[in-house]
């Protein structure tokens, strides 16, 4: 009797794979390999809005490193490959199943987030107007209509953290920093942090005469025709410090001055939406950014700042009864944070939905660090000039 019937005979011919099987194996291998690379190493993103101009332009295609800060283990593991939150060619069909949710874990990284890093993260508030399908548009609507009107008019969806819209901003403050802003200039730990040369702010430009060739301003892309004249020969336009220095050299320019929102002017929707704080996008703070292990005193002054972090991001039940705060049904006079948080702002300061509107970004929302632009496409340019050749493989700083 053959007691080794289960062993394959050495001289038995190997069964040859069919062409179909070979293609299937190759596709499966490619999908698995690409998914591992995207999740744990590097992923491509595109810039859809002008919130980071002129550091990053609409149509820039980026590579974002997952290794620098440590790759985040998928929190919604059952998902369609290469899709973010909706299926390709659709606007509402989910590309994931949220029946399985894993707790937040991150692999060790090469470094921690530093001030002025350009960071990709998931939209922290989670509110997205379904009809627009863009998180940034939510705040555009809030500024024009108000939160309650938006919520009563549009369908609001709240996706899992790792399936929310991807945002890209500059990290202005790290855990433990105290941040404020006065007349459009950010201040971190008592030190002013002026915009980089590529950052944009509104400037008041006064001309000596309007009798000059407007073509000389084309390289700066200053839309004087689209900017209302606030006085005779005076316009307010978005520009960078670098552009401002060049404008001052023209003999037809009388003066160029920063034109932020004045202190005390409240346009609405600014974090933390506290009536006791007369803040706006150019004048706010000081605010201390929470760090893991930091204990904050809970009272009427601090809770507007940290309520959402304690309740939503850290998963606690938070209530106020008869003027007393309760966390998880226990009277609370202090709270110790479980995560690190960050303060993110766009370089195009008056065209950016950022931490000035929705507050802190928790560490579990961090996706990765923007490394370099591998392609840049200008959809408004002529056919021969659509590729911005000078931006190809440009590092991001």
Tell me: pLDDT of 132 over 50.
no
Strands 318-321, 295-297: pairing kind: unpaired
Question: What digits encode the pLDDT tens for the residues 331-366?
Answer: 999 999 999 999 999 999 888 889 998 899 999 999
Is 0.85 surpassed by the pTM of this model?
A: yes
Question: What digits encode the pLDDT tens for the residues 14-63?
Answer: 667 788 888 888 888 888 898 899 989 999 998 878 888 878 888 999 99
Question: What digits encode the pLDDT tens for the residues 182-236?
Answer: 999 999 999 999 888 788 899 999 998 888 877 777 778 776 766 666 778 888 8
Q: pLDDT band at 137, cuts 50/70/90?
A: low
Name 193's bridge partners: 186
Domains by residue range for the chain, with CATH: 19-177+344-397 (2.10.109.10), 201-258 (3.30.70)
Among 64-78, 134-148, 219-233, 328-342, the range scoring the smallest mean pLDDT is 134-148
DSSP state of 354: S
Residue 36 half-sphere exposure toward CB, CA atoms < 13 A: 6
* pLDDT at 264 (0 to 100): 79
* pLDDT at 330 (0 to 100): 95
pLDDT, mean over the chain = 86
- Between the CA of residue 298 and those of 91, 288, 327, 362, what are the distances in Å? 42, 14, 10, 19
Name 331's bridge partners: 326
Q: pLDDT band at 138, cuts 50/70/90?
A: low
* pLDDT at 359 (0 to 100): 92
């Amino acid at each position: 009797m053959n007691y080794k019937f289960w062993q394959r005979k050495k001289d038995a011919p190997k069964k040859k794979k069919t062409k179909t099987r070979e293609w299937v194996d190759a596709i499966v291998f490619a999908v698995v390999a690409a998914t591992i690379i995207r999740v744990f190493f590097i992923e491509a993103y595109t810039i859809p809005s002008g919130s980071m101009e002129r550091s990053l332009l609409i149509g820039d295609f980026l590579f974002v490193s997952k290794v620098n800060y440590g790759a985040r283990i998928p929190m919604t593991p059952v998902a369609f490959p290469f899709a973010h939150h909706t299926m390709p060619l659709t606007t509402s069909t989910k590309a994931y199943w949220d029946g399985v949710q894993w707790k937040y874990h991150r692999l060790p990284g090469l470094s921690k987030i530093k001030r002025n890093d350009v960071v990709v993260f998931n939209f922290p508030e989670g509110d997205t107007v379904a009809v627009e399908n863009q998180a940034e548009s939510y705040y555009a609507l809030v500024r024009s209509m108000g939160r309650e009107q938006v919520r009563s008019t549009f369908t609001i969806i709240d996706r899992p953290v790792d399936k929310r819209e991807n945002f890209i901003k500059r990290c202005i403050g790290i855990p433990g920093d105290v941040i404020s802003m006065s007349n459009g200039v950010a201040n971190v730990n008592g030190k002013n942090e002026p915009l980089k040369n590529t950052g944009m702010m509104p400037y008041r430009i006064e001309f000596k005469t309007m009798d000059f060739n407007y073509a000389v301003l084309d390289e700066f892309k200053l839309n004087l025709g689209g900017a209302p004249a606030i006085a005779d020969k005076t316009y307010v336009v978005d520009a960078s410090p670098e552009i401002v220095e060049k404008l001052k050299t023209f003999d037809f320019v009388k003066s160029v001055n920063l034109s932020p929102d004045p202190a005390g002017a409240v346009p609405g929707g600014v974090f933390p939406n506290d009536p006791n704080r007369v803040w706006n996008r150019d004048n706010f703070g000081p605010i201390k950014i929470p760090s893991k292990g930091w204990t904050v005193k809970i009272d009427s002054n601090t809770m507007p700042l940290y309520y959402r972090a304690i309740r939503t991001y850290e998963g606690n039940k938070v209530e106020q009864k008869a003027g007393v705060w309760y966390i998880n049904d226990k009277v609370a006079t202090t709270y110790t944070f479980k995560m690190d948080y960050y303060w993110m702002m766009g370089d195009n300061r008056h065209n950016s939905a950022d931490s000035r509107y929705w507050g802190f970004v928790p560490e579990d929302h961090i996706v990765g660090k923007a490394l370099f632009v591998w392609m840049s496409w200008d959809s408004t340019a002529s056919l021969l000039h659509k590729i911005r050749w000078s931006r190809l493989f440009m590092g991001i700083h």
